[in-house]
Amino acid sequence: MRLKKNIPLIDQHDKNGFWGGKFGGSFIPETLKKPVEDLTKEFQKLRKNKNFIKKKDFYFKNYVGSPTSFIKLENLSNHLDGAQIWAKVVSEANGGAHKIYNATVHALICKAMGKKYIVGDTGAGYAGKMLSMAAKKFGLKCKIFMGAKDIIRQKPNCDAMKKNGAEIVPVYTGSQTLVDAVSECMRYWVSNCDTTHMAVGSTVGPNIFVKICGWSTSQISRELKIQLKNEFNNIPKKIKLINCVGGGSSAYGFWSEFIDYDKRQVELIGVEAGGPKNSKLHAAPLSRGAKLGILHGAAAYCCQDNEGQIKETESISAGLDYPSVSPIHCFLKDAKRARYTFATDEEALNAYKLVTKFEKLNPSLEPSHAFAEAIKIAPKLSKDTIIIVNSCGDAKKDRDILKKRLGKY
């Protein structure tokens, strides 16, 4: 399984929509084939349209807040006494997370297609919050599907969605988390696709949704590439780009401009949710040997039992609590371009404590998993190695969990 040079990874699929011949595709009911085909044609047209790109760039700069900062975590680096640790502070973006890029593009597509309603799914609440913000900005009616369990543990983002005028639909089926929210969102769209646009909140789902999300979030690595050249005059010789991985949208956005580089120069490290230390439950299909399965319209590695049924997952991080992963990350893993590992709940909490002790940074529980890996490997590396963590979310949404587990926020 090989990657192609000078072709965006989102476009390296075959005519049937599969990356590497087996990941992705569009496993959808007959009733969704036409709306998916229509959306595919519209997106392919819009991504080449100079006026649409100009509009997207305008809102990224003046609404999203691009570019976000690239900073050295000097105190943390000195404490660990190894590699330099830097952060791309994507949490500075409007709304506090990377999900605003995808939400903004979906709202613009919705407007371009002449639809007035937009619907989406959410786990940590970031995708829902950002979609509600974009809907309000562009005058769209918004409905968000969210697992009942996640509604309880992510109250701040739910309050923000309601404030923005979105309707939150609680999902009580299954594990009452993101996996069930995505399923219900897709069921709703089947019945309402003539008037409603669906935004999938990550690089998961049928092929076209992977492509739209990947195209949107790649803004992160475009910025980082410029910032690296400004800071070091060139791309340094030893870089490790570390990102948390749930569905995989922030990781793809963080890595996309660097995939063509030799992995000895730019190593890509994805950190999944290992779940509680003493539990068999986790959300780490790539790093803990999951098998190929089909979920939410795409073929990818999925946490499943011996009969092929999707297994329940568990993570302190609602945004990583998903039993599958983007087909793009499955492709990167099998092509040996990216390395995937996991951090437990406890390791993520300890990383959050250490980062906030030494730096004026407040990473949510999702990027705290990535910081856990950075903290683990930094002392073993030389000082000319540059570790960059995508701090892709702010911990305001996690304040109740952090108070309960750490006694402070």
Name which of 7, 214, 205, 11 is nearest 98 in CA terms.
214
pLDDT value, residue 409: 67
CATH of domain 47-60+98-214: 3.40.50.1100
How far from 62 is each of 65, 93, 135, 183, 369, CA to CA, in Å? 6, 11, 16, 34, 30
Place of tokens 């030893």: 238
Cα(366)–Cα(207) distance, rounded to whole angstroms?
A: 25
Class of the CATH-defined domain 65-96+219-406: alpha beta
Res 178: pLDDT: 87
Comma-separated ranges of CATH 3.40.50.1100 domains in the chain: 47-60+98-214, 65-96+219-406
Q: Write out pLDDT tens, residues 314-363.
A: 999 988 999 999 999 999 999 999 999 999 999 999 999 999 999 999 99
| pLDDT, tens digit (0-9, with 9 covering 90-100), for 368-377 | 999 999 999 9
Distance CA 301, CA 353 (A): 32
> In this predicted model, what pLDDT tens digit does every residue of 188-207 receive, in sequence order?
999 999 999 999 999 999 99
Query: CB–CB of 212/102 below 8 Å?
Result: yes
Complete edge-to-edge strand list for the sheet that includes strand 141-147: 167-171, 141-147, 117-122, 196-199
What is the rounded average pLDDT for all residues in the chain? 96
Q: What share of the chain is helix, strand, coil (3-state, %, to 5)?
A: 45, 20, 35
Alpha carbon 184 to chain centroid, angstroms = 20
